[in-house]
Structure formats: structure tokens, C-alpha cells
Amino acid sequence: MRALGTILMTDIVDSTATLERLGDAKWHAALLEHNERLRAQIDRFGGREVRTTGDGFQVLFTGAARGVRCAAAMIDALADLEIRIRTGLHTGEVELTAGNLYGIAVHAAARVSALAGLSEVLVSAVTRDLLDGSGLAFEERGVYELKGLSGPRSVFALIRESAR
């Protein structure tokens, strides 16, 4: 069954370089702490963890504002760790089957996330448009051809102060 959802993708920035700098034992401890802190924010904002990718999460929300606020809170929750993340969100129809998310919207969220910088929350134009009246503010980051997706797509960065 297809349903409208907001997909949040996270990714650890420079994970291999961080692993090399920290060493195996410290990296493993930091990664476990990262996972625990991100899961706490997923629960806090009512998201559904769909899967982990080793150095990131795929999370489904039924509301765009909760997804964006969760992404900002995740970044804040890692402030004292040696791990930093990038986040991206897109809203579209998805299919949740056997615990996995399917649909072009999932790929769009991954492409938006890949454009994000260190500790940045990027959203697609679709997600941004759904957030009118939410109190969240964004600035345009540009128009991109997202790999595998047709046509140019605008991407917006959350102005972090608006998420507090």
C-alpha cells in the first residue's frame, strides 16, 4: 500500500576518515553512541526507523515538520561527539513492505541528503512547500539535476534558528 510520507536520510560525514583518526575501538563506541542518540530523537519526534545503513539512518515520518525538526535535533544531539552528520528530507508517496521503504521518493531523499554539508538539514521543494505556516524557515541552496531523477530540482537548507 502506498502512502504519503516524509523520508529523512542521515549520513555520517567523512566516516572513513573519522574511523581512521579515532581507531577501531573509539569509533565503535562513538558509533554506538551516535545510534543511541539518533534513535532517541526518532522516538521523540514520532518517526519510524526503517533501516540503518552502517553510517546512517532511513526514517519515515507522517508529518514533514516533525521530520525536519528531528533532523535538526539529531545534529544538536551529536554536538559533543566526534561524529557529525548530514541530513536530507523529501516528501512523497512510498510503499512500506516487509520493513523496507520503496519508491522514487526514497531515492529523492537520498539524493537530497547527499548534497548536504556538515551538520546541515536540506529539504526538497516538495517538503519545503508543505511547511508553510510551520515556523520553520529555509533558504534556497540551488537547483540540481539529481542522479536518476528527471528534471531540475530545487533544494533548500533549514535556517537552524527557526527549528529551536
The whole-angstrom separation of Cα 49 and Cα 52 is 8
Catalogue all structural domains in the chain, each as residue range(s) with its CATH number. Answer: 2-163 (3.30.70.1230)
- The pLDDT tens digits for 7-64 are 999 999 999 999 999 999 999 999 999 999 999 999 999 999 999 988 899 999 999 9
pLDDT value at position 163?
Answer: 63
> What's the CA dihedral at 133, 138, 139, 143 to 10 degrees?
-90
pTM for the model stands at 0.94
- The pLDDT tens digits for 92-105 are 999 988 889 999 89
Interior angle at CA 161, CA 160 and CA 162, nearest 5:
90
